[in-house]
Chains A and B, each alone.
Chain A
Amino acid sequence: MRKWQCTTCGDIYDEAIGDPDSGIAPGTRFEDIPDDWMCPTCGSTKDSFEPYTE
């Protein structure tokens, strides 16, 4: 499971957690999120996200 960061607002998409508020189940890989998904914090599109390492 990996993490991704929104380069606009800094939000983290953690594949382990998903984004249940937007219907993305825990465990969903970033690649498998639908293309019309938006960053829940700032509304950026999927392509604004980069892989994130701690």
Chain B
Amino acid sequence: MSTPIIPTELVAPIWNPASYANRDAVEQIFATLRRDYPLAMCEVPGYKPHWIVTKYKDVREVSRLDDIFHSGDISKTPASIMAEAMMAEYSGGKPHIFRTLVHMDKPDHTEYRNVVKDVFMPQNVATLKDGVLASAREFADQMADMNGECDFAETIAMRYPLQVICDQIGLPREDHATMLRLTQWFLSYADPDLCRPGSVLTDPEQQIKTWQIVYDEFKSYYTDLVAQRRAAPRKDLATLIAHGQIHGQPMDERGMISYFVIASTAGHDTTAATIGNAMWILARDPGLFSRIKADRSLISGFVEEAIRISTPPMAFVRSATQDYELSGQQIKKGDRLYVSYLSANKDEEVFDAPFAFQPDRTPNRHIGFGFGSHICVGQHLARLEMRTLWEELFERLEWVEMAGEGQWQESEFVCGPKRVPIRYKMN
């Protein structure tokens, strides 16, 4: 069978950060792909050829077969030929700026993941309940003090998960805002409102400068912290990472800085996106709001559905280490696969009415946290955080509505709303 090729005009927008400002249009592209090109080749000028993997079954299969579909040989995030060249130049020939868990394969991946794995197991996350509740109450109080109007994305959704994860890492509260700024410069580099001031997307030099600044700031910050924790251990993530052993040796510098980077970026940006989008949905749907307010047992399903609908990390890229037949297509050794979690989570064959928000959807085996050995290590913390906040908000909010237009970030990798202006009454 010859390889199906997706028409360029159909698929090109998925690579462009600006496309994601119009979420519905992006969802529509993937719906068309699932129907007409479920597993097909994308050959867009400026990008190497990629298979676009859109179906739930295929996304799970590729994600699960980590030895066949590597995470560390090429950029794990969608990147143009120019961006890949820049990353290689910047990192001295490596495919990534940072080498985090996400960018590793066995055996290193297992070793690095083991450093923090236990503290994120559900039974251990459960012991964090009181601290998380205190943060949720603090942010609910802030909301109550804002005279019934706020930009929920900026004031609550982005700040509450930031506080929870930074508390866990062991960062003083006054440094949390710095972490938010660095995360946004790094992950939302293409959004005109969130990128580093002065950086221009069309200028590659500026992009490299942003990476340099972000890496240097993270490095100087965390090098100090590691020294402190080695001298005086505490009960926090920073201490675990500072003492982490990899194949019986201390972590190297790049591995250690990257570890902090993944914890202090992936640990809140994704949760922020989910919380912000969930409020956006609620504020437009008074029926949904009153239904959950009246029956709080729906909160946990509400959170799962918010993750499925939002799917903040929308895609990862893998490369094949050997030939493999996937759903009747012949993947060749060295081929690249753009694996769309966003698409898999809307697959009509798995989710009835995939665009409908159904807090009581059962089963809801979404892959918002990924699948396979890279599955989100923070998933139980993320759930605890979100359930705790929504328990507070459903208790205290009497009603909520939009007070202006919401707005999505312009981001082709991790994406969430950057503006969710709401009006509300709460006690």
Contact = CB atoms under 8 A, between A and B. Distances in A.
A42 B372 contact: yes
A42 B365 contact: no
Interface residues of B, number: 16
B60 A43 contact: yes
B365 A40 contact: yes
Q: Is the interface of B mostly helix, strand, loop or mixed?
A: helix
Contacts of A7: 117
The 3 A-B residue pairs whose C-beta atoms are closest, nearest first, are A43-B64, A42-B375, A10-B122
Nearest to A21: B363
Interface of A: 5, 7-10, 21, 38, 40-44, 54
Contacts of B60: 43
B121 A10 contact: yes
Nearest to B63: A43
B319 to A, nearest CB: 19
A9 B120 CA distance: 9
Contacts of A8: 373, 375
B399 interface: no
Interface of B: 60, 63-64, 117, 120-123, 363, 365, 371-373, 375, 379-380
B375 A41 contact: yes
A44 B370 CA distance: 12
A43 B121 contact: no
Nearest to B379: A9
A10 B60 CA distance: 18
Nearest to A41: B375
A32 to B, nearest CB: 23
B371 A43 contact: yes
A21 B379 CA distance: 22
Contacts of A9: 375, 379
A44 B373 contact: yes
B271 to A, nearest CB: 17
Given A10-B379, A21-B363, A43-B372, 7 more contacts: A5-B121, A10-B121, A10-B380, A42-B371, A42-B375, A43-B60, A43-B63
